[in-house]
Structure 1
């Protein structure tokens, strides 16, 4: 606990020129006396920390100080190395650098990175353009560059967008880009798979970063991202699945929205605005699915079933 406080004090002082004892005490939720003892402990450990008196005074670090790896526990060092290892799966410059940050930190920590986890976010059979798409999005976010690409929406309409990317989001097995869309003059969430990777272009236009709204504005209570759409105000979708559909249902819905009924059927309630694609996906359950509400989804299912019968399917 004390080691964690010491690290947070040093980090705070590296972020700000001066912190008062009171500010540090509030941040760490300890007494000013404890902060003073921690500052003394840091000084005794060789950290160039000192207290300036008078107006504008407080706790300070000597300019140019960089953090000592000894302030981190072995577990924290392992966590940092693991996080960088995961980042390298989507960061080509980091992954390709022979003298990578990962190896330099491992040497600083005097620890060999544990090869205990392997993550590959790329798609099965993804072409090289997939990696270039990630690189372009990352570059656009890091350096505030406008990104241009062709985008295909749920209705299979293609538009050319110029956007100001703010964040790369991974949600439910898919990558999304949150960005200010210059065509719509509003925030949008674009699914990476719907972008034409060959068309992605990093424009020489630098934009002033905007404060992105909370991601919950684009995600319904069921956790579904509203692809390239308006903020979500999602209705209730209640369904009951036959026991033989249990395996598929558990793969496609979160555990907390599934209730097993006494007869073995599965009750699923989510909040979302069903798209046409989602409706056809639900229809693929056939007789294993009963929609309880809303009524219009029940009517749509019946209409599809009647149409199939009329066609002799």
Structure 2
């Protein structure tokens, strides 16, 4: 790990020129004391890094210095393969590896291309934190590096995996599973596995600890991960404590309703132009939340408990704002 960090430090100085210890610490996600020790180690190894004092000082390399240490390690190459979305790399615990790999990619470019590539990169923004309406995108869930590393090791080596998993509304338990693959959806990472031969899907952010075992996993040699994910998604949508709701909705908000529901089972148009849909939600809380977002552009017709719940919530809001603060 330290060798990769030293290479990243050199590449940062090559590509950005003089940088302060604080700036290097931020980029490398370490303390300034670690940066100082790394600089000393580089100097002892013959890398011409020197310090400039003063308000605008920092560390720099002697002009013309070039290193041939741009080879990608395993995690960096893997990070580039999932780099279609930076959130995807982060969901699998590969965020720092992606940053390191991109430094090496830029350094490997011919000097004549380096400036134009850097300028082009500044003109592309992928997955910003907010959309045009200033709504924050769902944040990528953080997975501790040690946990993510063990999970990846078990998946790629085909070994059984022992995880300490905190399922929703349950106390954490240790489980031994046969890992099949990893999936990231909108910044959330999932482990597809089997347990005692039955399909299981685990949310990576709920894995508190993980240990790759020496025993070989029981799983087929080949896997169509996209198909496996689609099958599990279908089972998820059609199982559990799902709620069927009959709702009238303004046609302009139909896409919003369909986007939050698990499925649209039936649809027809009323005489006034509004749409009457039969939709399913994951549970009662999901149904109430989805209909509340649509305000007066939708009306739950059935079941009655949902109408009552929405009415009571609206009455409580009206009472809160019925008097001056």
Band of TM-score, shorter chain: 0.3 to 0.5
Q: TM-score, normalised to structure 1's length?
A: 0.46
